[in-house]
Amino acid sequence: MSENKIIDGKEISEKIRKRIKSFGSELIEKSGKVPGLAVVLVGENPASRVYVRNKTEKTKEVGFQSIEHKLNEDVSEEKLLGLVEKLNKDDNVQGILVQLPLPKHINSDKVLDSILPVKDVDGFHAVNVGKLWSGLNSLVPCTPLGCSILLKMINDDLSGQHAVIIGRSNIVGKPMAALLLGMNATVSICHSRTKDLPAIVRQADIVVPAVGIPEMVKGDWIREGAVVIDVGINRIERDGKNILVGDANYNECYDKASRITPVPGGVGPMTIACLLLNTLLTSYTQFDLEMPDLSSILKDL
């Protein structure tokens, strides 16, 4: 296997975090303030706990302040909304992230929409969603932002290319479509009601599976030379071991693709890097300093 076929999200995300650290220390020097990221975790979901631990660790590594709030599974919606309100008003907090999924008795949409749009580093607030679809500057959901950065490193302008996204969630599929449109791709969004999915994927120059079904995308779905950006993270048992696999069958798709992201080590690490990137960008705004262009932060990675 030739190494350069693999899009190494782990290595790229490390480089991005180093850039964030260096831009961040300049920002701290100029403003005299340290960007703060507040992460709210409700309940004991083991996967969420791992994500939050990771986010906290990486936040500290880039020199930002990490503020963690752990609430019991049975916390009331009112209490959670009260905490968000407090964080909205806290000048030491530039980014607020409420880890999903929330327990069933809490209305997630209501909680996400209670976050001040300027502190919405997950990019899920309706204001940021609307801005993204209008082509305006906004905080962009971290996973699709990470995918778009990986794609931009291969090709900045996707004019004439057909991108097929599998999945239409608000977290990945839909914002990914907006970003790909912004890069001039022709975009198809597929989902569970799509007829003859393999036939549509076979037309794609770029395939972005974001489904949550282990190894669903087969090698014979992939056009020779297509780029595969696999968002899926699925824990499965194979040969008596617990392993992580994507939504694409990696070995099969590898043979057909010109470039492909592995799982783990592809899109996953880009998500956290983009969370920190969003925190950095919005801190400039909140500290009344001119925000550098994203392309200047990511230049020559």
184 counts as binding ligand NDP under rule CB under 6 A: no
Distance CA 210, CA 230 (A): 7
Residue in 40, 145, 158, 233 binding ligand NDP, rule: CB under 6 A: 233
Residue in 55, 232, 260, 273 binding ligand NDP, rule: CB under 6 A: 232
Query: Which is the catalytic residue, given 120, 122, 205, 230?
Result: 122
Residue in 6, 98, 149, 211 binding ligand NDP, rule: CB under 6 A: 211
Which span (14-22, 87-95, 113-121, 166-174) binds ligand NDP, by CB under 6 A? 166-174
Cβ proximity to ligand NDP: between 278 and 286 the closer is: 278
Query: Which is the catalytic residue, given 55, 58, 119, 174?
Result: 55
65 counts as binding ligand NDP under rule CB under 6 A: no
Q: Which residue's beta carbon is nearest to the bound ligand NDP?
A: 169
Distance CA 257, CA 250 (A): 10
Phi, psi of 226 (to 5 degrees): -70, 160
99 carries an active-site annotation: yes
268 counts as binding ligand NDP under rule CB under 6 A: yes
Distance CA 187, CA 161 (A): 9
Distance CA 115, CA 101 (A): 16
Cβ proximity to ligand NDP: between 168 and 259 the closer is: 168
Cβ proximity to ligand NDP: between 75 and 172 the closer is: 172
- Do residues 84 and 111 lie in contact, with contact meaning Cβ atoms separated by under 8 Å? yes
Q: Coil, strand or helix: which one is 162?
A: strand
218 carries an active-site annotation: no
55 carries an active-site annotation: yes
Q: How far is the CB of 219 from ligand NDP (least distance, A)?
A: 17
Closest CA to 268 of 32, 109, 47, 23: 47
CB atoms within 10 A of CB 36: 22
- Give residue for tokens 């599974």: 73
Cβ proximity to ligand NDP: between 137 and 192 the closer is: 192
Closest CA to 271 of 236, 299, 231: 231
Show Cβ contacts of residue 79 under 8 Å, excluding neighbours closer than 6 positions: 71
Q: How far is the CB of 193 from ligand NDP (least distance, A)?
A: 5
Q: Coil, strand or helix: which one is 85?
A: helix
Which span (30-38, 124-132, 228-236, 248-256) binds ligand NDP, by CB under 6 A? 228-236
192 counts as binding ligand NDP under rule CB under 6 A: yes
- Give residue for tokens 């939504």: 247
265 counts as binding ligand NDP under rule CB under 6 A: no
Q: What residues numbered 96-135 form the site for ligand NDP, per CB under 6 A?
A: none
Which span (62-70, 150-158, 178-186, 209-217) binds ligand NDP, by CB under 6 A? 209-217
Q: How far is the CB of 42 from ligand NDP (least distance, A)?
A: 17
58 counts as binding ligand NDP under rule CB under 6 A: no
Closest CA to 216 of 232, 195, 239, 196: 232
CA-CA distances (angstroms) from residue 174 to 70, 134, 289? 29, 13, 31
Structure tokens at 11: 């290595």
Closest CA to 267 of 18, 37, 6: 6
**Interface with ligand NDP (CB under 6 A):** 143, 166-169, 171-173, 190-194, 197, 210-213, 231-234, 247, 267-268, 271
Active-site residue list: 55, 99, 122
